[in-house]
Amino acid sequence: MPTLRQRGEPPACPFCGAALPRSRRRPSNATSVLPGGRCSCGACFVVDPTGRNGGHALLEALEDACGGDRERSQLLEPGRDYQELIENYDAQLHRFIKGFRGYRRGMARLYLVKLTPAPAPSATPPGSRPPQA
């Protein structure tokens, strides 16, 4: 297999497989300078153009996923309340640059989060029955 790693690949949502739109300024968050966007499945992403603001970009992505509710977003726990994907990203080419991990000088990173649907308060969803022993 020839290696195409440096060329990257079109960013796709890991949760639904759809192509991600280009990042743009997020009007929902007037105080932020980080671009981002959202997938049709509800996943939200924020791009950290320097690759050095990781924690911040992730928090902003979570905030977007919560509809701008910062307090709620700060209560979320990874794995339990949301799934995250962190990928190196070439904002100019709009490509994921896969094949290595960790910080790379001059490389932007994309932080994508999707909230896990909250389990229904009742153990029995409407229209279904608990398994019989």
> The tokens 């509800």 sit on which residue?
42
| Shortest Cβ 41–Zn ion spacing (Å) | 3
| Shortest Cβ 39–Zn ion spacing (Å) | 3
Looking at the Cβ atoms of 45 and 53, the one nearer to Zn ion is: 45
- Phi and psi at 45, nearest 5°, equal -135, 155
Q: Please state, in angstroms and rounded to a whole number, the distance separating the CA atoms of residues 35 and 13.
A: 17
Looking at the Cβ atoms of 20 and 53, the one nearer to Zn ion is: 20
| Shortest Cβ 122–Zn ion spacing (Å) | 28
- Binding site residues, Zn ion, CB under 5 A: 13, 15-16, 18, 39, 41, 43
Q: Please state, in angstroms and rounded to a whole number, the distance separating the CA atoms of residues 25 and 12.
A: 19
Looking at the Cβ atoms of 8 and 37, the one nearer to Zn ion is: 37
The DSSP bridge partners found for residue 131 are none
Cα 63–chain centre separation: 11
